[in-house]
């Protein structure tokens, strides 16, 4: 599922993350600081935060982005799009506070998962 209908491909953006990956040492303070930086980036640019986990959920990916940068007709500030090969794609409207909470939870509970921030036009749920 592509989030937007643009000719750009995710392959063009694989090395163009706006922020580096999560801090190696995942102290609560560093996690919160990283998540706040992600939220600032999402607010000002057409970017998506993409979370990929390797914890027994093969291929599951979640992205968060501002609704205004999508073609989705949802009455919310942000949207969470989850792609789980077992159940398909689910789209959920959410607030900035919810995005912050969920990103922190992901990073607190999954030491193998990663988050990257990339141009929204280049995000496809089928990417690695």
pLDDT of res. 11 = 32
Specify if 1 maps to a domain.
no
Specify if 44 maps to a domain.
yes
pLDDT digits (tens, 9 = 90+) for 108-117: 777 677 788 8
Specify if 10 maps to a domain.
no
Specify if 36 maps to a domain.
yes
Closest CA to 89 of 8, 5, 1, 22: 1
Cβ–Cβ under 8 Å, residues 13 and 106: no
The more confidently predicted of residues 17 and 73 is: 73
Specify if 66 maps to a domain.
yes
Specify if 127 maps to a domain.
no
The SS3 assignment for 115 reads: strand
Specify if 128 maps to a domain.
no
Tokens at residue 64, please?
């968060």
pTM for the full predicted model: 0.73
Closest CA to 22 of 7, 8, 38, 10: 38
pLDDT digits (tens, 9 = 90+) for 7-30: 233 333 333 455 555 555 567 888
Cβ–Cβ under 8 Å, residues 32 and 39: no
Specify if 5 maps to a domain.
no
Contacts of 114 (CB under 8 A, 6+ apart): 21, 22, 51, 52
> Which residue segment(s) compose the domain that 28 sits in?
15-121
- The total domain count for the chain is 1
- Mean pLDDT for the chain? 76
Helices (H), 10-125: 28-44, 96-109
Contacts of 65 (CB under 8 A, 6+ apart): 3, 42, 46, 47, 48, 49, 78, 79, 81, 120, 123
The more confidently predicted of residues 63 and 54 is: 63
CA distance 31 to 65: 19
Average pLDDT over residues 32-46: 89
């Amino acid at each position: 599922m592509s989030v937007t209908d643009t000719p750009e491909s995710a392959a063009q953006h694989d090395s163009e993350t706006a922020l580096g990956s999560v801090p190696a040492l995942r102290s609560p303070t560093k996690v919160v600081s990283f998540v706040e930086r992600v939220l600032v980036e999402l607010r000002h640019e057409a970017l998506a935060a993409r979370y990929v986990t390797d914890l027994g959920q093969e291929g599951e990916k979640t992205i968060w982005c501002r609704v205004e940068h999508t073609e989705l007709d949802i009455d919310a500030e942000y949207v969470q799009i989850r792609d789980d090969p077992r159940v398909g794609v689910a789209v959920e409207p959410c607030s900035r506070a919810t995005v912050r909470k969920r990103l922190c939870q992901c990073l607190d509970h999954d030491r193998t998962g990663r988050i990257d921030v990339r141009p929204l036009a280049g995000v496809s749920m089928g990417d690695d």
